[in-house]
């Protein structure tokens, strides 16, 4: 009967369901986009290392109360401090030193500009997930001797050699020096948070890097990964004490370093996206309310048009609950149709956005379930009054109504 109502009164039904369609489109569109963006950001954040503390002269969280010139005056991290940290920290499983610079690479007649050169110590790949598809990663002997060998990113291999397979075993040049390529990193894709760009980089042993560049001018910092089941806050507190002792700071002196906790950024990001989702709910809620009134209107009209039918049904024994359930189901069905149209529009939107955004838009199953649940609840709420009126009709009066 609901389908027949749709066919007979197409325009009226369309206008009534338009609010539901727009409401579901808004709320599911916002939730799907925000959820996909949060997944991408959290995935990019995990690339910094799980349960990892970054010891640096800079505070990654900003800190408006602390003057920027004080950060500039802080001493840079030293490679020698890494050994002390590893020996005095009980909660750490791995620690690595990191420096970086921007260089131009060339091979034969091919030149690639603005490549990230990363100088790392031997436990860097235990903190960062680096997958080498072709060749191998740097080994212990490479780090201890500071050999002039490196691992390059997928983009570097494609630009200079044509493919990752051709890059392994070849030499690569920069600043008059030659580096032997031993491996190519698996393609990582674009990150929204910046950080490590493994597609456009070359990783070399720290000692080799230090033989070319001044580490103090190369953004040095120490990465420390905690042991399993160790809270990052506890690790940060221990590292803070070790660093103060290492730099011989008195109790009255302020820190001249920062222990940056990556996990805190994840919590801040979740809170931010929660606020964005709440805003989407508020906007879509207005459309859903309007849509609910539209469905209620069409149900009032439907009850009036079927008054004689309702009277006949009650005359031959239909109970109030049967009439009530019939109209509630019809109201919910109408809302589900509007919701399905809205979901279809969101699916088309996700295809369009995925082709232009640096991350795909997913419509998670729980979001689809949420949309259908909203439609059913709205349908019941919108149809409860018309259905109650229909259920309470006197059969004799209803049959006589034209």
pLDDT tens over the chain, length 402 residues: 666 766 777 777 777 777 788 888 888 888 888 888 877 777 766 666 678 899 999 888 765 567 778 888 899 999 999 999 999 999 999 999 999 999 999 998 889 999 999 999 999 999 888 889 899 999 999 999 999 999 999 999 999 998 888 899 999 999 889 999 999 999 887 765 657 888 999 999 999 999 999 998 888 999 999 998 888 889 999 999 999 999 999 989 999 999 988 777 666 676 777 777 777 777 777 777 877 887 888 888 888 887 888 888 888 888 888 888 888 888 888 888 888 888 898 889 888 888 887 778 888 888 888 888 888 888 888 888 888 888 888 887 778 776
CA neighbor of 46 nearest in space, from 35, 56, 38:
38
Look up residue 313 and give its two tokens. Answer: 């049904």
- Other C-beta atoms closer than 10 Å to the C-beta of 75 total 11
Contact between 118 and 100 (Cβ < 8 Å):
yes
pLDDT computed for residue 58 by the predictor: 87
Give the model's pLDDT for residue 171. Answer: 92
Q: Is 346 helix (H, G, I), strand (E, B) or coil?
A: helix
As a whole number of angstroms, the distance between CA 60 and CA 293 comes to: 49
Region of 169 please: left (phi>0), alpha (psi -120 to 50) or beta. left
| Cβ proximity of 57 and 82 under 8 Å | no
- Spatial contact of 109 and 192, defined as CB atoms under 8 Å apart: no
Distance (Å) of CA 56 to CA 43, 61, 116, 243, 320 = 23, 12, 19, 11, 73
The domain spans of the chain are 2-44+267-400, 75-256
Residue 30's contacts (CB-CB under 8 Å, 6 or more residues apart) are 276, 277, 279, 280, 281, 283, 284
Distance between CA atoms of residues 364 and 166, nearest Å: 40
DSSP element (H, E) containing 365: helix 365-391
Contact 96, 222 (CB under 8 A): yes
pLDDT in tens, 245-302: 999 999 899 999 999 887 776 666 767 777 777 777 777 777 778 778 878 888 888 8
Which residue shows structure tokens 């709440």?
A: 278
| E strand residue ranges, 121-254 | 132-135, 149-152, 171-174, 177-185, 201-205, 221-226
Beta-bridged to residue 204, according to DSSP, are 119
Condensed to tens digits (0 to 9), the pLDDT of residues 203-233 reads 999 999 999 999 988 889 999 999 988 888 8
| Token pair in block for residue 188 | 């990582």
For the purposes of burial, counting CB atoms within 10 Å of the CB of 22, is it exposed (0-12), middle (13-18) or buried (19 or more)? buried
How much is the pTM?
A: 0.70
What is the distance between the alpha carbons of residues 196 and 190, in angstroms, rounded to a whole number? 10
pLDDT at residue 1, rounded to an integer: 67
Rounded Cα gap, residues 167 and 105, in angstroms:
13
What's the sign of the alpha-carbon dihedral 344, 345, 347, 351? positive
């Amino acid at each position: 009967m609901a389908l027949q109502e749709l066919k007979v009164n197409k325009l009226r039904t369309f206008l009534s369901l338009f609010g539901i369609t727009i409401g579901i489109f808004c709320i599911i569109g916002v939730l799907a986009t925000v959820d996909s963006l949060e997944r991408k950001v959290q995935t990019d954040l995990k690339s910094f290392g799980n349960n990892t503390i970054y010891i640096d002269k800079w505070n990654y969280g900003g800190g408006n109360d602390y003057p920027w010139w004080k950060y500039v005056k802080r001493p840079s991290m030293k490679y020698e401090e890494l050994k002390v940290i590893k020996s005095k920290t009980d909660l750490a499983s791995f620690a690595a030193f990191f420096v970086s610079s921007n260089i131009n690479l060339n091979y034969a007649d091919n030149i690639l500009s603005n490549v990230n050169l990363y100088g790392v110590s031997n436990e860097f790949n235990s903190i960062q997930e680096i997958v080498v598809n072709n060749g191998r990663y740097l080994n212990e002997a490479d780090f201890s001797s500071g050999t002039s060998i490196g691992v390059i990113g997928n983009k570097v291999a494609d630009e200079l050699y044509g493919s990752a397979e051709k890059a392994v075993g070849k030499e690569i040049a920069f600043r008059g020096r030659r580096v032997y390529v031993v491996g190519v990193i698996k393609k990582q894709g674009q990150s929204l948070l910046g950080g490590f760009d493994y597609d456009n980089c070359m990783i070399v042993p720290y000692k080799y890097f230090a033989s070319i560049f001044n580490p103090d001018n190369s953004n040095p910092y120490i990465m420390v990964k905690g042991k399993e089941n160790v809270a990052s806050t506890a690790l940060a507190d221990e590292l803070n004490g070790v660093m103060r002792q290492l730099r011989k700071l008195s109790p009255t002196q302020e820190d001249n370093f920062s222990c940056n906790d990556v996990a805190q950024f994840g919590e801040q990001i979740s809170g931010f996206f929660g606020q964005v989702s709440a805003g989407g709910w508020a906007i879509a809620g207005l459309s859903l309310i309007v849509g609910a009134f539209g469905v209620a209107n069409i149900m009032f009209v439907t009850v009036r048009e079927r008054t004689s039918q309702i009277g006949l049904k009650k005359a031959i024994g239909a109970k109030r609950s049967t009439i009530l359930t019939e109209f509630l189901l019809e109201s919910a069905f109408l809302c589900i149709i509007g919701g399905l149209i809205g979901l279809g529009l969101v699916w088309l939107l996700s295809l369009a956005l995925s082709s232009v955004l640096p991350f795909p838009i997913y419509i998670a199953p729980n979001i689809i379930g949420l949309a259908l649940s909203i439609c059913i609840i709205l349908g019941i709420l919108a149809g409860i009054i018309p259905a109650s009126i229909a259920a309470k009709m006197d059969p004799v009066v209803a049959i006589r109504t034209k």
